C-alpha cells in the first residue's frame, strides 16, 4: 500500500505491546532529521526501535515510511525485518563473530538483494568511508570498541536504508573513544538522507547529535522539541534531572506562584496563569549562611544541607527546604562558609533566573484511535482535540503540527 506523494520521512501512529508493557505513540520524522529518543529505563525506547525495524509488529495503528505502509495492524499488513529498508545499529553492535569485517559489512547489501559484485563494491566504499579498509580481513574479536562501532555503522549504511535506527551506539565505548567517534558519527548522520532515530541516555550526546528530541516515559511521549527547547523547559522531573535543572510545579496567580511542594516564588511579567512549571539552574541559586540583606533577589528562603557532591570544578549542594533545591558553589565557598551536611543556609534567586512556562497538556489519543471511531473525521477539526494556546504560545508547538498533519492523512477520502 502506498500513500500519495509528498510523504517523505517516517510517520508513526501506533501501539506496541511486549508482555505487560504498552507503548502508544504518534509522531513524524522528516527525511534528513535526526530524532533523539530519551527516557528512563523501561520507557519504551528499544521497543519503539524494534517495531520500526520489523522485529516486533504493532498491535494497533500503523507505520509509514516514505509513503509506504510497512506495518498496519488493522489491514494485516506487515513487512518483516529482512525486507524492511531499515539499518539498525545495536548497542552491542552484534557483529557476526565468524565473519570478517568485510563479510559483516557485505551482509547488509546482500540481504537487500544485491549481487556479489555489487555488494563487494558497496563494502569497499563504506570501509573506505569509515577509514577501516585495513581491517577488512579481521574478525570482530580482533577489533577495539571504536573499530567495532564503525563496522556496525558501515554495515547498517551499506544496505542503503531509507531509515536508520541507532540504539545507544556509543554506550559501549570508553570516554576518550566516545568523544572521537561522536564527532565522526555526527558527520555521517549529516550526510544520511533519510530519517534517523537515535536512542541515548546521554544528554550531551543528544544535544550534539540530534536535531530534535522525543522523551518517553511509561510508554508515552511526554516532551517533543528541539534540544534547546527541551534543555530550557523540561516537562518532567526526569528531563529536568537529565539536563541538570531544578523543576517545580506550581499554580500562578499574577506574579505569585504557589509551589506544589511548599513555598512560593515571585516572578513578575511571566504572562502565565494556572498550572505552571518553573525551571532554575543550580548555578543561579545563591547560598549564604545568614539572611541576605544586600540583594536584589525577590525570592529568599531557608534550607538545610542534606548532602554535597563534587562535580569537576564545582560542588553541588542537595538542599532541603520549601522548596528543596540543588545549588552549585565553588570548593572555596564550601571551605569559607563551613558548609556541611546538616548545616543551615539561606537561598536566594532572582526572578529573572526563573523560567516560567505552562505545564504541557496531556497528549490526546493517537490519530489511529480517531480514525477507528470517527470515520472520515466526522466533520470534526483536529483542533477540537488540541488544547488552546496558553501564555501566548502553542503548548504543543511542533507536536501540534505533526498532529494536524496526521489528522489530514487519516481523514482523507
Q: How many domains does the chain have?
A: 2
User: Distance of alpha carbon 408 from its chain centroid, rounded?
Assistant: 26
Residues of the chain above pLDDT 90, percent: 62
Query: Has residue 386 been placed in a domain?
Result: no
Q: Are residues 183 and 242 in the same domain?
A: no
| Nearest in space to 140 (alpha carbons), one of 185, 181, 92 | 92
Q: Are residues 221 and 339 in the same domain?
A: no
Torsion of CA 218, 223, 227, 230, to 10 degrees: -110
Q: Are residues 171 and 244 in the same domain?
A: no
pTM higher than the cut 0.75: yes
3-class secondary-structure state, position 52: helix
pLDDT of residue 332: 94
pLDDT digits (tens, 9 = 90+) for 131-182: 899 999 999 999 988 889 889 999 999 999 999 999 988 887 777 777 777 8
pLDDT of residue 362: 55
From 315, 338, 357, the end of a domain falls on: 357
Torsion of CA 29, 194, 68, 212, to 10 degrees: -10
Q: Are residues 192 and 52 in the same domain?
A: yes
pLDDT of residue 371: 36
Do 153 and 165 meet the contact criterion of CB atoms below 8 Å apart?
A: no
Read off the DSSP letter of residue 198.
Answer: E
Q: Are residues 306 and 326 in the same domain?
A: yes
DSSP 150-176: HHHHHHHHHT--SEEEEESTTTTS-HH
pLDDT of residue 206: 87
Query: Has residue 149 been placed in a domain?
Result: no
User: Which CATH number do you get for residue 327?
Assistant: 2.40.50.100
Q: Are residues 319 and 178 in the same domain?
A: no
- Give the long-range contacts of residues 185-188, CB within 8 A, separation 24 or more: 185/153, 185/209, 188/129, 188/130, 188/153, 188/157
Q: Are residues 168 and 209 in the same domain?
A: yes
pLDDT digits (tens, 9 = 90+) for 46-103: 999 999 999 999 999 999 999 999 999 999 999 999 899 999 998 888 899 999 999 9
For residue 97, count other CB atoms closer than 10 A to its CB: 9
Q: Are residues 225 and 197 in the same domain?
A: yes
Query: Has residue 183 been placed in a domain?
Result: yes
From 232, 263, 291, the end of a domain falls on: 232
Flag residues of the chain having pLDDT under 50: 1-6, 363-413
Using left for φ > 0, alpha for ψ between -120 and 50, and beta otherwise, residue 157 falls in alpha
3-class secondary-structure state, position 348: strand
Query: Has residue 127 been placed in a domain?
Result: no
Domain of residue 322, residue span: 237-357
pLDDT of residue 219: 96
Q: Are residues 19 and 48 in the same domain?
A: yes
From 232, 258, 276, the end of a domain falls on: 232
Q: Helix H segments across 218-267?
A: 227-232, 237-243
Amino acid at each position: 500500500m502506498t500513500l500519495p506523494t509528498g510523504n517523505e520521512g517516517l510517520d508513526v501512529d501506533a501501539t506496541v505491546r511486549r508482555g505487560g508493557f504498552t507503548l502508544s505513540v504518534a509522531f513524524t520524522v522528516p527525511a534528513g532529521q535526526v530524532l533523539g529518543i530519551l527516557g528512563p529505563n523501561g520507557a519504551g525506547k528499544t521497543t519503539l526501535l524494534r517495531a520500526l525495524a520489523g522485529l516486533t509488529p504493532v498491535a494497533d495503528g500503523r507505520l509509514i515510511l516514505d509513503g509506504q505502509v510497512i506495518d498496519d495492524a488493522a489491514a494485516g499488513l506487515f513487512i518483516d525485518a529482512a525486507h524492511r529498508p531499515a539499518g539498525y545499529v545495536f548497542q552491542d553492535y552484534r557483529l557476526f563473530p565468524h565473519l570478517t569485517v568485510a563479510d559483516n559489512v557485505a551482509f547488509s547489501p546482500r540481504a537487500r538483494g544485491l549481487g556479489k559484485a555489487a555488494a563487494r563494491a558497496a563494502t569497499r566504499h563504506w570501509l573506505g568511508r569509515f577509514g577501516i579498509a585495513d581491517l577488512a580481513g579481521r574478525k570482530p574479536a580482533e577489533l577495539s570498541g571504536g573499530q567495532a562501532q564503525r563496522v556496525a555503522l558501515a554495515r547498517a549504511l551499506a544496505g542503503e536504508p531509507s531509515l536508520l535506527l541507532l540504539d545507544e551506539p556509543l554506550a559501549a565505548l570508553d570516554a576518550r573513544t566516545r568523544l572521537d567517534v561522536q564527532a565522526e558519527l555526527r558527520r555521517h548522520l549529516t550526510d544520511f538522507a533519510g530519517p534517523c532515530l537515535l536512542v541515548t541516555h546521554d544528554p550531551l550526546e543528544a544535544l550534539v547529535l540530534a536535531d530534535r528530541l522525543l522523551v518517553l516515559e511509561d510508554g508515552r511521549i511526554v516532551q517533543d522539541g528541539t534540544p534547546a527547547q527541551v534543555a530550557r523547559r523540561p516537562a518532567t522531573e526526569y528531563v529536568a534531572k537529565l539536563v541538570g535543572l531544578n523543576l517545580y510545579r506550581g499554580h500562578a496567580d499574577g506574579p505569585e506562584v504557589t509551589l506544589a511542594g511548599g513555598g512560593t516564588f515571585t516572578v513578575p511579567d511571566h504572562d502565565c496563569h494556572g498550572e505552571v512549571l518553573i525551571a532554575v539552574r543550580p548555578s543561579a541559586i545563591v547560598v549564604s549562611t545568614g539572611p541576605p540583606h544586600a540583594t536584589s533577589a525577590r525570592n529568599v528562603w531557608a534550607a538545610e544541607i542534606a548532602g554535597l557532591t563534587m562535580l569537576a570544578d564545582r560542588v553541588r549542594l542537595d538542599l532541603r527546604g520549601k522548596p528543596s533545591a540543588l545549588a552549585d558553589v565553588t570548593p572555596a565557598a564550601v571551605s569559607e562558609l563551613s558548609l556541611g551536611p546538616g548545616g543551615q543556609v539561606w537561598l536566594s534567586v532572582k526572578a529573572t533566573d526563573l523560567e516560567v512556562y505552562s505545564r504541557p497538556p496531556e497528549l490526546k489519543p493517537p490519530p489511529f484511535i480517531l480514525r477507528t471511531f470517527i470515520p472520515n473525521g466526522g466533520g470534526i477539526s483536529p483542533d477540537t482535540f488540541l488544547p488552546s494556546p496558553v501564555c501566548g504560545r502553542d503548548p504543543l508547538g511542533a507536536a501540534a503540527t505533526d498532529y494536524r498533519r496526521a489528522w489530514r492523512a487519516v481523514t482523507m477520502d
